[in-house]
Amino acid sequence: MTVSQQVSVLERLQTDGVLAAACPTRTVLDHVTSKWGVLLLVALSESSRRWGELRRDVEGISEKMLAQTLRTLEGDGLVHREVTATVPPRVDYSLTPLGTDLVSRLLPLMEWILENADDILAP
């Protein structure tokens, strides 16, 4: 990414929002960067997952926050919820096209964190 591109993004962030309070993009940013939102989106990046799988994939998440975060992401149109009316019931979660697009921007960031976590926490 060139410097001129960086500047233009920053300028648009200032005028259109994000850095401005009360801007709708703040809400989206909060959802996307929420503690569990990122991890769930990443966990869904490869394939659709069932409730119990997500609960195991994302270690440490409580059932309450799992349900709450999934509902938020579903409401944002990032995650698709599909119920199969069987006994026992089966519910699959998957990324929507919008969610897939978002995750493609998210994974480079996660990869960076993975590679640099040691540098950050070591000193």
Partner DNA sequence: CGGGATCCATACTGATACTG
Partner DNA sequence: CAGTATCAGTATGGATCCCG
- Contacting positions for DNA (CB under 7 A): 34-36, 50-53, 60-65, 67-68, 70-71, 81, 88-91, 93
Using CB under 8 A, which of 48, 50, 71, 117 touches a copy of itself? 117
Which of these, 1, 4, 13, 31, lies nearest to 102 by C-alpha position? Answer: 31
* Smallest separation, CB 8 to DNA (Å): 27
| Residue 102, number of CB atoms within 10 A of its CB | 19
Residue identified by tokens 């609960």 is 55
Instruction: Write down the least CB distance from residue 11 to DNA, Å.
Output: 22
Nearer to DNA, 12 or 90 (CB): 90
CA-based end-to-end distance of the chain: 28
